[in-house]
Amino acid sequence: MVSAYHYETEIGKITIVEDGTSITHICFGESILKDANVMETYLLKKANEQLEEYFNGKRKIFDLPLAPKGTEFQKKVWKALQQIPYGETYSYKDIAKNIGNIKACRAVGMANNKNPIPIFIPCHRVIGSNGKLVGYAGGLDVKEKLLGIEKQNL
């Protein structure tokens, strides 16, 4: 059974979704997946608690079961995103290099854009090769705030 619950956070309202065993989505705002039951489960509560700890600078690594759905390439990119250290940023080129395909910068960008579990899979840590913030599902202001939280709590 898919469950979802809305939370008010440092970056505004978010919706966390789980499939009974793992977190599958984080949505900015109160959007919800079709067929999801709106109810707070133990796993959703735990995910929100870890987010609160992250926003308060007390958590640098999330300890949650994650199950993002995507292509094999997307999953490879999302796994590489999880290897970016807290408080650091990598470029799309860095990620492409880390997955063994230096020419896949554009495809890495597309996979980053499709990340269904932002923050827990830290796509906000990916910036342009010129050092500028580029695209983020929650908006560049949210990306900047997340990076600021990490920089402040290093």
Nearest-angstrom CA–CA distance, 124 and 146:
7
| Segments of 2-113 assigned E as strands | 3-9, 12-18, 23-28, 37-38, 90-91
Domain ranges across the chain: 3-55, 72-152
The catalytically annotated residue of 14, 27, 84, 123 is: 123
pLDDT tens by residue, the chain, 154 residues = 899 999 999 999 999 999 999 999 999 987 766 788 889 999 999 999 999 999 999 999 999 999 999 999 999 999 999 999 999 999 999 999 999 999 999 999 999 999 999 999 999 999 988 888 888 878 889 999 999 999 998 8
C-alpha pair distances (Å), 71 with each of 19, 47, 84 = 19, 24, 21
Quick check: 15 and 26 in contact, CB under 8 A?
yes
> What's the CATH architecture for 72-152?
Orthogonal Bundle (1.10)
User: Could you tell me the maximum CA-CA distance found in the chain, to the nearest angstrom?
Assistant: 43
Catalytic site includes residue 105: no
Give CA 118 to chain center in angstroms: 2
